[in-house]
DNA sequence: CGATATTGCTCAGTATGCTGACTATCAGTA
DNA sequence: TACTGATAGTCAGCATACTGAGCAATATCG
């Protein structure tokens, strides 16, 4: 019988598991308590001031029901602000705070270090190739999850 | 600024997200309600009759606290049995039931189909290369997560 | 203009996955 | 044998992720 541990789905889960652990360890050592998801949201809000939650979700491929809690926690930590949109009273506009900007700046080195660590078993060329193949597979499967990437 | 969507950690999360969605869709279409985690546990229990929870966790790289709930649900569904070990009264021996065996047999085609679908954007050679690189990166990072693989 | 559809967001419920703590048991050793 | 440490399992708590439902507001179209 084929080894279950050697199927693409299992490798995907395992790589993600290690990636999250490395991220949390690096960021934690830098003195911050931020998850990968929270970091991605924070960075995207900074790069797109005033965006609404659905747009944010699309930009980083989160489910819209997941984003609610993530934003709650970022607001709780004082890193972003959520306020009602004037143009569309259903929507909330998201804005990074000064404290959020400071945190993002200080965390960035730890995040970059984490990316290196999770690829440490590969040569630079292999790392590039892995990323290329992941991008390609992801692009082909984008519509298969409930939370596809939206440009 | 570097695109956050293009970092290894984000690609890992995204690929895993798609892999799970594809798995659930395929298995669901086959008429079963089983998660990737539950499937891996079930298949491993079948291949290693009478194993205990910690060993199972090590074989598929789950956290031991996660396994408790997974096993609860497999028992609930009647696919496995959990009973006290006679040699070690702390441990529980896990055994697949006849119904579990039947389910596993019927689900297998859907699982294999799912693996193909999640690689559908890649050529056969690229798929192999992706898996090789993932295996290599995972092997190097095995000890970095709380739930490493144990042979 | 008014009925209908769509959209932005939230919530309840379920399932991973983790940290940290706890109990019961076992193993090794003084 | 009593002490000490390690191990198997569980639990509470928190943070993703998803399904499906629902509410309020907006868009669309006859």
Q: How confident is the model at residue B1 (pLDDT cuts 50, 70, 90)?
A: very low
Domain count, chain B: 1
Sequential DSSP letters for B52-102: -HHHHHHHHT--HHHHHHHHHHHHHTTSEEEEE-SS-TT-EEEEE-HHHHH
**A80: DSSP letter:** E
The residue in chain B having the minimum alpha-carbon distance to the alpha carbon of residue A20 is B9
Residue B140: the pLDDT is 96
Instruction: Please compute the mean of the pLDDT values over residues B32-53 and round it to a whole number.
Output: 96
Strand partners, A93: A83
Q: Mind listing the pLDDT tens digit for each residue in B56-103?
A: 999 999 999 999 999 999 999 999 999 999 999 999 999 999 999 999
The overall average pLDDT reported for chain B is: 95
Q: What local confidence, expressed as pLDDT, does residue A29 receive?
A: 94
What would the pLDDT profile of B133-149 be if each residue is shown by its tens digit? 999 999 999 999 999 99
Partner residue facing A140 (CB), from B11, B121, B147: B121
- CA dist., res. A78 & res. B61, Å (int): 36
Q: pLDDT band at residue A114, thresholds of 50, 70 and 90?
A: very high
Residue B118 CA to chain centroid, in angstroms? 15
Q: Between A86 and B44, name the one with better pLDDT.
A: B44
Residue B16 belongs to a domain with what CATH number? Answer: 1.10.10.10
The answer to whether position A36 is within a domain reads yes
B contact test, residue of A2, A3, A10, A24 with most B CBs within 10 A: A10
Cβ contacts of A130 on chain B, cutoff 8 Å = 8, 130, 133-134, 137
Residues of A in contact with B36 (CB under 8 A): 9-10, 13
The percent of residues above 70 in pLDDT, for chain A, comes to 99
Residue A4 has what pLDDT?
76
Of A2-16, A61-75, B90-104, B112-126, the least confident: A2-16
pLDDT at A2: 59
Q: Is the CB of B87 under 7 A from strand D?
A: no
The per-residue pLDDT for B3 is 75
* Mean of all residue pLDDT scores within chain A: 95
Tell me, what's the pLDDT at A79? 97
**pLDDT in the model for residue B111:** 96
Q: Is residue A55 part of a domain?
A: yes
The pair phi, psi for residue B94, each rounded to 5°, is -110, 135
**Banded model confidence at residue B4, pLDDT cuts 50, 70, 90:** confident
Across the range B15-23, mean pLDDT stands at 97
Let me know if residue B76 belongs to a domain: yes
Q: Which domain holds residue B24?
A: 4-144
How far from B125 is each of A8, A125, B61, B73, B120, CA to CA, in Å? 14, 17, 27, 38, 12
Domain-located, residue B149: no
Q: Are strands A92-96 and A80-84 parallel, antiparallel or unpaired?
A: antiparallel
Measured between CB atoms, which of A4, A121, A147 is closest to B136?
A121
| pLDDT greater than 50 at residue A8 | yes
A1 has pLDDT over 60: no
Indicate if the pLDDT at residue A86 is higher than 70.
Answer: yes
Residue B150 in domain: no
Q: Is residue B151 part of a domain?
A: no
DSSP assignment, residue B7?
Answer: S
pLDDT in tens, A43-77: 999 999 999 999 999 999 999 999 999 999 999 99
B91 occurs within a structural domain = yes
Residue B53 has pLDDT above 50, yes or no: yes
Give the residue-averaged pLDDT of A128-132: 97
A75 in a domain, yes or no? Answer: yes
What three-state secondary structure class fits A92? strand
């Amino acid at each position: 019988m084929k080894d279950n541990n050697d199927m693409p789905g299992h490798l995907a889960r395992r790589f993600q598991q290690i990636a999250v652990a490395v991220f949390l360890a690096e960021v934690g050592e830098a003195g911050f308590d931020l998850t990968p998801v929270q970091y991605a949201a924070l960075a995207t809000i900074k790069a797109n001031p005033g965006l609404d939650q659905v747009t944010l979700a699309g930009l980083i491929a989160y489910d819209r029901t997941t984003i609610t809690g993530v934003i709650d926690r970022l607001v709780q930590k004082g890193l972003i602000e959520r306020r009602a949109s004037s143009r569309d009273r259903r929507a909330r506009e998201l804005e990074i705070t000064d404290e959020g900007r400071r945190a993002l700046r200080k965390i960035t080195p730890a995040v970059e270090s984490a990316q290196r660590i999770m690829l440490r078993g590969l040569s630079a060329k292999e790392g590039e190739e892995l990323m290329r193949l992941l991008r390609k597979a992801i692009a082909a499967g984008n519509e298969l999850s409930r939370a596809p990437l939206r440009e």
